[in-house]
Structure 1
Amino acid sequence: MNISALYERAKLPIKVALALSISMITAIWLGWDRPYWAGLAVTVMSMVETSGHSLRKGKWRLVGTFYGTASAFFLLAFFAQDVGIMMVLFTLLVGICGYMIFNPRYGYIWSITITVCSLILVMGDMNPISDFNLATLRLEETLLGFICHIVVFSILWPQSSRPVFENAVLDLLKQQQTNLVNRRHQLIKRDQHTVTRTVLGEGLKLVMRLQDLLYGAEADSYHILRERKSWQYIIEVGDQWAVAIGHLTEAIDLLKDANLDMEKPQIDAIFRYLLHNFQQCEAMVKTGKSPSKRQISCFQYMKLGFHPETDMHTQGALLLLERQLNSMAKLSDELVLAFYSAYSGECWSRDEQSLPKPIKRWSLDTERLIASFKGMLVVACLVLIWYYYNPPGGSLMIALGAIFGLTFISLPFANMKKMLSYIVGWSVFVLLEYIFIIPLLNQPYQIALFYFFSTFFIWFSFSAAKDLVSRVIGTMILVISTKSVMCLTPVYAPALAISILMAFTICLLLIIFFNEFPFSAQPERVMLRRLKMLKNVLAWQLRYTVATTQERRRWWVPIVGLLYNIRPITLVMGADNAAKAIPWKKFPEVSEEQAQVIIHRLYLLVLRINSLKDGYAKWRLNTKDDLAQSMVKDSVLRIATALEHTDGYQNLLVLEQEMLSVYNDVHRRIHLIDRQVEIEGDISLEEALNLHRALASLGLLVNELKVLSEAMAEFDFKALEIQYFTI
């Protein structure tokens, strides 16, 4: 490894070690007890990738400290005389925080809330006066660690969150340009092999990552904060663009056998306009400057034309393609204006028709509920051990169980055996330091140097991104196990360090047990649960889409909806992440390639269903054709039934045959309307096109389900249900 690589690798360890040692030695200099709290604040803030995320975590840490203090004071004020009730309420608080800790924006607040509440209750010995002093001290030292981290990370090699955010925006723009080029080749050059299925899922994942990066960029970039509405609107456009791509894919699939020689010039012109808009947005991000407003063009509606020799099926699909391409051109205009506003500071009027505000419904994530339940089980067992046996360090075990139980359980697919090896390894390392090095230290500057070099060694030796958990655990064990050295009157007590490590090990064994057995957190089990939940969610949302207003107002609908209103793409991404973490060598009966094929088909299935819901909602809003509405509703309900039952896919073939006759009728009506022939039902062209879109979505959805069922039939899901008991 060359010198420049070592230099880059040493930057973060130097910053973390310097901030940690300065914060703790400053706390000692100020005469504050328990200075290791300041060191823990620095450690946690150093886990994130940019300074903006660090600032945000520092702010959330202060807020969480306040909430945790308030929670501890509430429990002590009303239940100090009845420890049993207080521990029951504390366990419920662990469950609530365990669920909310997964919130992408505010989850860290809840993590700190339960951490501070646990430490105040345990270390204050359930005494209100002691707890008030501890809460004040905790707030002071958290603020000290926050300030030391900001100062060091701002002076030494600062890293802004804005470039990271803008690079993610560039990735999304480039990915969408690739997507458009593929669709253009598919239509104009009739190249079916250029369409990659993975692009659809990657685009949705990039949009969701942008939201998290935006929160961090707001913290240290005034430019991003000032134009937050514009950037938020850009993310919303990206989300809506995924639905538009789904509609475009439907129209292209309907035209895969059609002769489009006469329409190619107009289609090519629209695609070139879309690519020009994305390139214009990309140029603004790269240069950081907005063009003159005169250079921003506005798209004029472009018709693909009507040709008498074109058959009814092709003509209907062409009309859908015309509407969709023009709608996407209008959406791309909104995107350009949003980028222009973000870089020029000028306001613009939002087009509510191009991008209506999404309807948000409350929902619960079952995986988050499972993690919350496991955290409550860990704490409940530790409370029972403390209440009935009262072992040495029993109350400390409760705090450690609450803190590290939620931390480890919330980690995605955490390998608990590896966690145990980390703890054993770092415990041995710290104990050796405690025995052979710490007795030689008798000056404050020596203690500061000890923590500096120890922290630097931990962060430099395990500098890879995959080793984040290892270096954080090592730093926490270093700070907590040697806390007696940082008292105002230093105490050399190896027995105390050993008791802390033993309590920590007992907590981890309980965490491993509950993490493996009730609803195992192994990635293969998570993937199976996500797939099963996805099937039920899609069936519920299809039924809700075609339900009448009276049916939606039934008393039980909001309650059931809490479980099934979750975004399907979130479940597919969860299954995708789990599939990538599965050790496939342990399951020779199945292959990773088969699983990825199913995941890619699920991304397409979600896009099909989103397109169906969007198309059906637009048609249902204006239609007066009760017969057609009843027919479409019956078809959607049959698809939902097929999803709910494992053997329901065999009924899709009959449904597809029924759909063919409906297609013919709709195409005939559109064909006559376009020729200005009066037909029965007094249906408008707009209504007919919306009906055509809904029916096209239905047909393509049925076909997608058939392909998906064939892929699933070749995959042995039962092989993944075998669980090996190994610790």
Structure 2
Amino acid sequence: MLAPRFPSPRFREAFKTALAVVLAYGIALSMDWEKPMWAAFAVAAISLATVGQSLHKGALRMWGTLVAGVVSLTLVALFPQERWWLMVFLSAFVGLCTYRMGGSKRPYFWNVAGFVSLIICMGSVPATEHAFDLAVLRSLETGLGILCYTLVTVFLWPTGTAAELDAAVHGLAATQHRLYQGYLRLLAGKAEGEDLQPLRLQEVQQLGQFNDALMGARADTHEVWELRQQWARLEADVRDMMAALARWRESFDEVQALDLKALMPEFPSLAEELDARLGQVERILSGKAPERQPKPLDASLNAEAVRALSHFDRAALALFRSQLRRLESLTRSLFETAADIKGFTAVSVRPVEPTRTRAGFVLDADDLVAAARVVAGVWLAYLLWIYVEIPGGVGIVIMTGSLGMALATNPQLPMRLAFKPVALSIAFASILYIFVMPRLSSFTELGWLIFAVTFAIGYLFYKPQQILGRMAGLIIFVTMTGISNAQSYSFLSLANTTLMFVLVFMILALAAYVPVSPQPEKAFVRLLRRFFRSCEYLVSTLDWDPDSDSARRPTRLQRWRRSYHAGQIATLPQTISLWGKSIDPKLLAGTTPEQLQALTADIQALGYRMQETLEARAAVRRMLAGPDVQNEIDTWRAGLKEIFRGLSLDPDAADHADFRALLNAKLERLEAHIETALNQADTVSVPPTEAERAYRLLGAHRGLSEAVIAFAKQTAVIDWPRLREARF
């Protein structure tokens, strides 16, 4: 290596970032490029802890810049003298990029494509003849910044992502193993009062760390790239395992009173085998050879003991078994894939399957709201620039769009949290601009200043959660100082830039109310209502019959709507939880944050129950009983649909006692009709697999009812009027 190893990784990363910024400025100034700050922007944007992550982000930034250049030149060529049409299509493209940031695996690519297109198009107004030169120059400057940081990280204390990837995936496997063991204790009644919520939160965080490390390792580690398909399969398996464990936990309430050992004689050995598999997966991912291979599992039932159960208990047992089978499949897949990756198999154990199948394009309401806010902010800034002489000129449009897109992915972030670091950065850069830079007479002196400032920012904001502060400090420093070959100093320019940032934050604060209020308590209630609207629609789809020619056969539009609402119940619980954590405790009055989070946990459980019901219904092609049973099921669905409709209008309307009385009465009538129908039917002719699927559906119905009742019970402790009252 070029230098001895320093004891502090913080020092190394700050040093590399500072050196790359100085090199980028030096080369850009020697080439006499206009506004070399864009090369420094590129360094600030990709300065991450490992080579792989930096290379990955650098590639995304480069591709985003190139796409933005093509789009911008196309728009300028189409509307050279029509600024309104240019702005219409430019804002539409920026809105599209903002929308794609929410659901894409490469949000940074769309972020760069959006704000660089603003830079090129707005920088070309009104003199559009220089648009091509500007696009080429921005691409060159971005490429220069990426190249400088890449070379520095490759040759100076290179840090690969392979070790980080191994640590992340091993930690995630260990957490999932501990969660499984905790759930087993809970099922056995040995975990009274044990709080597994911290483990679940840790699992979510570790999954994100694993995804980030995997993207970086693909770029800087040849072995990971060669096995990229196996790593993709492992990523899909651990993600599915997270959902499977949570849904398995939700099935405990209905089987808690059952004697599982009598009903499933092999359940203790089955649970022990799953535990051993997860332990072996953890061992393999730590780099050690497995001590044993997966054994075949027997989930057969004691037919005599099962016959003594009520039909709803049989249904609960069928649902529980289906979740166990899912865990069996996933643990075997995890074991085989992990062994293949770590080289503990002679050949690939099985063909690598696609990680996901696409269900078609489905809109996301939250991403649409984010796009609408960014477009509204850009248009407001544009109109102010056209009709009012405001400080900053066209820069206010560019900065509004850039900051708006950066904040779009974190709508829960209060604007005041971003304002404070920006204000401090402006004050610091202003002091340097007024009192220090006029005394410099050569690039050597300027280079030392750039190095010192960049090093200080990188050193102080080293932690991953401080990356926004690091980027804000660097970007404001290079913007306020305006370093160029023809350097000039003007207090008026400094004041205008400062006022521009103030106006930008005012515009973003106004645009945040488009189309709905950004206040956390209002967003919490609004998203809760949307969740129940989706539940209402999905319950209405349970009587669909894709194989029928009757009115119960869904149209293409209906299937698309079902996909949309199914996506909503899968993603909204986590979003609601994030907004709930953002609510100011002072506004909750008698409601504690813990009670609010307990409510969001019930929403998550309700979402899992709804997903289980949809999957169970899709698997059933033959009901066990006749029209009387079907009529009772339809009655239950109609009652549940009315409950969801009421909750979508007013979540405070939930009445625990009324819901329990209503749903229990319907379920009791349903069980009585099933008992009568099955006693009269020729059940021998029913295939066992079809019978189990029907019982699983019945169990899902019961579980969904219990989840609604649990939610209604928790709503009683929430101070809903305080959440809904107007606040400014």
TM-score, length of structure 1 as denominator length: 0.88
Among 659, 663, 679, the alignment partner of 2:667 is 659
Q: Is 1:492 paired with 2:514? A: no
Q: For 1:546 and 1:204, how far apart are their aligned partners in 2?
A: 35
Q: Please give the secondary structure, in 1, of the residue aligned with 2:621.
A: helix
Distance 1:33 1:607, change over 3 A: same
Q: How does 1:250-649 map onto structure 2 within 5 Å? A: 252-260=252-260, 262=262, 266-287=266-287, 291=290, 295-307=292-304, 311-313=308-310, 321-322=320-321, 324-344=323-343, 346-349=347-350, 358=357, 360-391=359-390, 393-483=392-482, 485-487=483-485, 489-516=486-513, 518-549=515-546, 553-554=554-555, 556-557=557-558, 560=561, 563-620=564-621, 628-629=629-630, 631-646=632-647, 647=653
Identity among equivalent pairs (%): 20
Q: 1:243 touches 1:611 (CA, 8 Å); kept in 2? A: no
Q: For 1:195 and 1:320, how far apart are their aligned partners in 2?
A: 25
Q: For 1:702 and 1:168, how far apart are their aligned partners in 2?
A: 38
1:392 Cα offset (Å): 5.5
Q: 2:629 touches 2:673 (CA, 8 Å); kept in 1? A: no
Q: For 2:393 and 2:355, how far apart are their aligned partners in 1?
A: 55
Q: 1:64 touches 1:113 (CA, 8 Å); kept in 2? A: yes
Q: Which residue of 1 aligns with 2:29?
A: 28
1:159 Cα offset (Å): 3.6
Q: For 1:681 and 1:319, how far apart are their aligned partners in 2?
A: 18
1:629 Cα offset (Å): 4.9
Q: Which residue of 2 aligns with 1:87?
A: 87
Q: For 1:594 and 1:375, how far apart are their aligned partners in 2?
A: 34
1:473 Cα offset (Å): 1.7
Distance 1:422 1:343, change over 3 A: same
Identify unmatched segments of 5+ residues in structure 2.
648-652
1:26 Cα offset (Å): 1.9
Q: Which residue of 1 aligns with 2:705?
A: 702
Q: Which moved more, 1:429-438 or 1:206-215?
A: 206-215
Q: Which moved more, 1:270-279 or 1:29-38?
A: 29-38
Q: For 1:372 and 1:324, how far apart are their aligned partners in 2?
A: 38
Provide, for residues 191-235 of structure 1, a one-character-per-residue CA deviation record: whole Å limited to 9, x for no partner: 555574665676567556644553333222333322222222223
Q: 2:319 touches 2:700 (CA, 8 Å); kept in 1? A: no
Q: For 2:202 and 2:585, how far apart are their aligned partners in 1?
A: 22
Provide, for residues 119-177 of structure 1, a one-character-per-residue CA deviation record: whole Å limited to 9, x for no partner: 21233334344111111111111111111112223344444333444433333322332
Q: 1:299 touches 1:333 (CA, 8 Å); kept in 2? A: no
Q: For 1:389 and 1:528, how far apart are their aligned partners in 2?
A: 38
Q: Which residue of 2 aligns with 1:63?
A: 63
Q: For 1:85 and 1:575, how far apart are their aligned partners in 2?
A: 38
Q: How does 1:98-117 map onto structure 2 within 5 Å? A: 98-117=98-117
Provide, for residues 354-378 of structure 1, a one-character-per-residue CA deviation record: whole Å limited to 9, x for no partner: x996562432222222221111111
1:381 Cα offset (Å): 1.5
Provide, for residues 590-645 of structure 1, a one-character-per-residue CA deviation record: whole Å limited to 9, x for no partner: 21011011111122222222222222222237879666555435433432331121
Q: 1:105 touches 1:215 (CA, 8 Å); kept in 2? A: no
Q: Which residue of 1 aligns with 2:169?
A: 169
Q: Please give the secondary structure, in 2, of the residue aligned with 1:154.
A: helix
Q: 1:246 touches 1:608 (CA, 8 Å); kept in 2? A: no
Distance 1:621 1:86, change over 3 A: farther
Q: Which moved more, 1:203-212 or 1:147-156?
A: 203-212
Q: Is 1:231 paired with 2:227? A: no
The one-letter code of the counterpart of 2:662 is V
Q: 1:641 touches 1:648 (CA, 8 Å); kept in 2? A: no
Distance 1:331 1:438, change over 3 A: closer
Q: Please give the secondary structure, in 1, of the residue aligned with 2:241.
A: helix
Identify unmatched segments of 5+ residues in structure 1.
none
Q: For 2:68 and 2:99, how far apart are their aligned partners in 1?
A: 16
Q: For 1:19 and 1:259, how far apart are their aligned partners in 2?
A: 66
Q: For 1:627 and 1:210, how far apart are their aligned partners in 2?
A: 51
Provide, for residues 91-113 of structure 1, a one-character-per-residue CA deviation record: whole Å limited to 9, x for no partner: 22222222222234222122111
The one-letter code of the counterpart of 1:86 is L
Q: 1:639 touches 1:652 (CA, 8 Å); kept in 2? A: no
Distance 1:91 1:203, change over 3 A: same
Q: For 2:390 and 2:414, how far apart are their aligned partners in 1?
A: 28
Task: Give the count of matched residue pairs.
Answer: 709
1:666 Cα offset (Å): 5.1
Q: Which residue of 1 aligns with 2:138?
A: 138
Provide, for residues 426-483 of structure 1, a one-character-per-residue CA deviation record: whole Å limited to 9, x for no partner: 2222121111111121211211111111112223334455543333222111101222
Provide, for residues 328-382 of structure 1, a one-character-per-residue CA deviation record: whole Å limited to 9, x for no partner: 3233212211212222384333598xx9965624322222222211111111122
Q: Please give the secondary structure, in 1, of the residue aligned with 2:718.
A: coil
Q: For 2:403 and 2:195, how far apart are their aligned partners in 1?
A: 45
Distance 1:459 1:320, change over 3 A: closer
RMSD over aligned CA atoms reads: 3.3
Q: Please give the secondary structure, in 2, of the residue aligned with 1:178.
A: helix
Q: Is 1:686 paired with 2:685? A: no
Q: Which residue of 1 aligns with 2:650?
A: none
Q: For 1:689 and 1:247, how far apart are their aligned partners in 2?
A: 18
Q: 1:58 touches 1:146 (CA, 8 Å); kept in 2? A: yes
Q: Which moved more, 1:133-142 or 1:643-652?
A: 643-652
Q: For 1:480 and 1:552, how far apart are their aligned partners in 2?
A: 60
Q: For 1:78 and 1:188, how far apart are their aligned partners in 2?
A: 69
Q: For 1:567 and 1:350, how far apart are their aligned partners in 2?
A: 32
Distance 1:384 1:393, change over 3 A: same
The one-letter code of the counterpart of 1:444 is F
Q: How does 1:202-241 map onto structure 2 within 5 Å? A: 203=203, 207=207, 210-241=210-241
Q: How does 1:1-40 map onto structure 2 within 5 Å? A: 7-40=8-41
Q: 2:262 touches 2:305 (CA, 8 Å); kept in 1? A: no
Q: 2:115 touches 2:398 (CA, 8 Å); kept in 1? A: yes
Q: For 1:608 and 1:138, how far apart are their aligned partners in 2?
A: 51
Q: For 1:708 and 1:181, how far apart are their aligned partners in 2?
A: 27
Q: 2:234 touches 2:338 (CA, 8 Å); kept in 1? A: yes
Q: 1:363 touches 1:564 (CA, 8 Å); kept in 2? A: no
Distance 1:503 1:45, change over 3 A: same
Q: Which moved more, 1:34-43 or 1:213-222?
A: 213-222
Distance 1:467 1:523, change over 3 A: farther
Q: 1:115 touches 1:399 (CA, 8 Å); kept in 2? A: yes
Q: Which moved more, 1:470-479 or 1:628-637?
A: 628-637
Q: 2:40 touches 2:478 (CA, 8 Å); kept in 1? A: yes
Q: 1:100 touches 1:107 (CA, 8 Å); kept in 2? A: yes
The one-letter code of the counterpart of 1:217 is A
